[in-house]
Structure 1
Amino acid sequence: MRCEIRHTTEYRYPVPAWDSFNQVRLHPSQEARQSVRLFHLEVTPEAEVTSRKDYFGAIVHHVHVHEPHRHLVIEAQAIVDTHALPDPGRTPLSTLRAERRRHTEFLVASPRVPAGDWPDIFGVTRPGPDDDLPEFLMSLTTHLYRRFTYDTGATGVRTPLAEFAQHGRGVCQDFTHAMLGITRQLGIPARYVSGYLYSGGEMQGAESTHAWVEALIPGWGWLGYDPTNNCVAREKHIKIGHGREYSDISPVRGTYYGGGKSELDVAVHVYGEQ
């Protein structure tokens, strides 16, 4: 599937800002399930732009606007081809034993996914060592999809996981952090994925960057699960990068001098064709 993406981030300041420095993670990843045909980053006003790869392999652009400005626009455009991959075969949970030591960073607690008895808190039946891992992960995806309500006004980027568990309403970030808390407590290495979703009006979370989980399937690799939409992440999911949680792969964040309290507008458009 070919997807065209346009992601526009606009900041407006009541008084001039200067020395605005932003970390931008909007470049889709290049891997087996997708190929990046084009990526272009445009910044207004004129900016100094450099790039590097972060610890997890995502491409990060550093955008530095030196001069005073009251309006900053960062627009990323990309064309990505996504590819179908074969489904993993039956994989007992016991096969994870040999993998856990190599993937400790995706098993331990982090600030937004703290330690806790999340399987019990979220009402999840614990699997046995002979249970099929992909089947369990899909059932967990379905369980979270049915248990919680997608509501863009219910939470913010700093809402604690325990608060989402209590109120039962949130966005893709919350669904993803909940699934990470459960899988890590069960000894299943799992990571937070940031990306885009081509929904065609069929799925939730396409109005901005989307989030889902990638879990390790021994002998196969990292397979994506989207609890916000109760599905495996396939050709309609376009990955930017992954980390332990949202903070590791947030799309745009930065600092500036002056400016006052900024106003932020984000617009994401994803067009796709088979």
Structure 2
Amino acid sequence: MKLQITHETTYRYDAPILGLVQSLRLTPSVFEGQRVADWTVTVDGGHRGSAFRDGAGDWIESWSVRGPVSEVTVSIHGRIETRDTAGVLRGHRETINPLAYLRDTPLSAPDAALRDLAAGVAGEDALDLSHRLSAEISDAILYRPGVTESRTTAAEALALGEGVCQDHTHALIALARARGLPARYVSGYLHSNIDGAPHDAAHAWAEIHTGSLGWVGFDAANRCCPDDRYVRLGSGYDAADAAPIVGRTVGQGAERLDIRVAVEEMDQ
């Protein structure tokens, strides 16, 4: 599938700030499931600093903006060709040992209810178990925007029984780690017309390490593995660690955030 992506994140401040620095994880991953035709990341009034590929295989670049400024926009414009690999992350180069992703974080730590849910699931092998754990979360947490926030934990989402893709992902990661399977949070984009209406958006899903097959993606929010509708950007222990944009400002102005994402299928 050939996709064109436009993603703009605008920060507005009620009083001018003196400046900001940002770390951006906004460039698509390099693996067999996607090939970038062109990709541009810009920051209005910004100066690009160092860039590198980290141990997880993600491309990270730093930007800085000197103030005073009252508005800053981070823009992504790109074209990418994707291919369905049945969720398997083939050809992705990274150096971090998968066992590192057994570490819990405040957002993804399992409580007693999550551990009980994980313990009650049986699978023939790691891959089968991962599919069954994902199905459990799909059934346990109803997709409903607006009922959770960025700081909602996996345990809180399960107790509430509602949430968005971030909540599904944190809860699935918690179940997988409780069963001894390394799991991580993935950020990216999704193009979908499942019910006849567009659902183009920034998206998140989990990857679980299944042994010899390696990392496999599971999108519990949509009851599937990532296919050619998905664009993978980067990963981390949880949503905070995998955030596409992390930054610090100098100044006292209150911040307002506006995000616009469009994922369009191009003519083949």
What amino acid is the match of 2:142? T
Aligned residue number for residue 97 of structure 1: none
Task: Label 1:141 to 1:203 Cα distance change in 2 as closer, same or farther (>3 A).
Answer: farther
Matched residue, 2:46: 47
Q: Does 1:155 align with 2:148?
A: yes
1:120 & 1:40 partners in 2: Cα distance? Answer: 43
Give the Cα separation in 2 of the matches to 1:271 and 1:198.
7
The CA distance in 2 between the partners of 1:232 and 1:23, in whole Å, is 29
1:90-122 deviations in Å (ceiling 9; x for gaps): xxxxxxxxxxx9522111212322253454444
Measure the CA separation in 1 of the matches of 2:149 and 2:36: 31
Query: Which letter maps to 1:49?
Result: R
Which of 208, 222, 225 pairs up with 2:215? 222
The 1:86/1:68 distance shift into structure 2, 3 A limit, reads closer
Per the normalisation by structure 1, the TM-score is 0.86
Alignment of 1:1-274 (within 5 A): 1-44=1-44, 46-50=45-49, 51-85=51-85, 102-117=97-112, 119-122=114-117, 125-127=120-122, 131-200=124-193, 202=195, 206=199, 208-273=201-266
Contact 1:147 1:168 in 2 (8 A): yes
Paired AA for residue 138 in structure 1: H
Q: SS at the partner of 2:105?
A: coil
Find runs of 4+ consecutive structure 1 residues off by over 6 angstroms: none
Q: TM-score, normalised by structure 2?
A: 0.88
Q: Distance in 2 between matches of 1:189 and 1:76?
A: 31
Q: What is the identity, as a one-letter code, of the residue corresponding to 1:48?
A: H
Amino acid at match of 1:254: G
**Separation in structure 2 between the aligned mates of residue 139 and residue 203 of structure 1, nearest angstrom:** 28
User: Shift of residue 67 of structure 1?
Assistant: 2.5
CA root-mean-square deviation: 2.5
Q: State how far apart, in whole Å, the 1-side matches of 2:205 and 2:198 are.
A: 10
Given that residues 118 and 176 in structure 2 are in contact (C-alpha distance below 8 angstroms), is that contact kept between their aligned partners in structure 1?
Answer: no
Identity of aligned residues (%): 29
* 2:93 counterpart residue number: none
Gaps of 5+ in 1: 89-100
Residue type at the aligned position of 1:60:
I
CA shift, 1:206, in A, is 4.6
Mark the runs of 5 or more structure 2 residues left unpaired by the alignment: 89-95
C-alpha offsets along residues 18-42 of structure 1, whole Å, 9 cap, x if unaligned?
Answer: 2211122111111111112211012
Instruction: Provide the secondary structure at the position in 1 that maps to 2:171.
Output: helix
> Contact 2:102–2:181 (CA<8 Å) still a contact in 1?
yes
TM-aligned CA deviation for residue 202 of structure 1: 4.1
1:161/1:107 CA distance change after superposition, 3 Å: same
* 3-state SS of paired residue (2:130): helix
| CA 33–203 in structure 1, closer or farther in 2 if over 3 Å, else same | farther
Superposed CA offset, 1:123-146 (max 9, x none): 762325xx1433332232222112
Give the C-alpha shift of residue 151 in structure 1: 1.8
SS in 1 for 2:11: strand
Equivalenced residues, count = 259
